[in-house]
Each structure stands twice: as C-alpha cells, then as structure tokens.
Amino acid sequence: MLDANQEMIDSLAKLEEFLIAIENGGFGLNNAAGVAMATSNSDGRRFVAVLDDKHQLLLARYVTEEVFQTGQDLVRQGPRKH
C-alpha cells in the first residue's frame, strides 16, 4: 500500500499527525500492530510503514530523508500528543 501519489511526509509535525491518526483509527486499519521506518528495496526511497501482527504492510507513506533521519525516535516512542 505504498502509493507514490500520496502526499510525502516532509516534516516531523506531519509525521506526528500521521502517527496520531493511526493510533486513533483514522485510516480504518484492522490489526495494526506497529509502525516502522524503512527503505524501499526497489528505488531506495524512505517511508514509514504500518504493519500488522505478522509484519505485513498495511499502509505506508513516503518521507523525506530529513524526516527519516530525525523522526526515528518519534516512531519508536510514539507521538506525545493524543
């Protein structure tokens, strides 16, 4: 579910909004178990991935390199706003 036409996450604020939306069920995902930062094997682009309990991709959004580098703690620890 990595759609190149989706808006790229280009700031920590947008990453945090994305994470909060996932926590609040804003995307209607069933069985979401975790979030991770990753790199596409095909083109090297960075993205944030929502995974199920079997580590299967449910939803993803591309992120800028800056967000990938600076947002890893935010993904690991979760958003502060709820």
User: Mind listing the pLDDT tens digit for each residue in 21-49?
Assistant: 999 888 888 889 999 999 999 999 999 99
Q: Into how many domains does the chain fold?
A: 1
Tell whether 6 is covered by a domain: no
Instruction: Kindly give the pairing relationship between strand 57-62 and strand 46-52.
Output: antiparallel
Tell whether 58 is covered by a domain: yes
Tell whether 25 is covered by a domain: yes
Nearest to 52 by CA among 36, 37, 31: 31
Is residue 19 scored above 70 in pLDDT? yes
Tell whether 82 is covered by a domain: no
What is the average pLDDT value for the chain, to the nearest integer?
A: 90
Tell whether 32 is covered by a domain: yes
- The domain of 69 spans 12-77
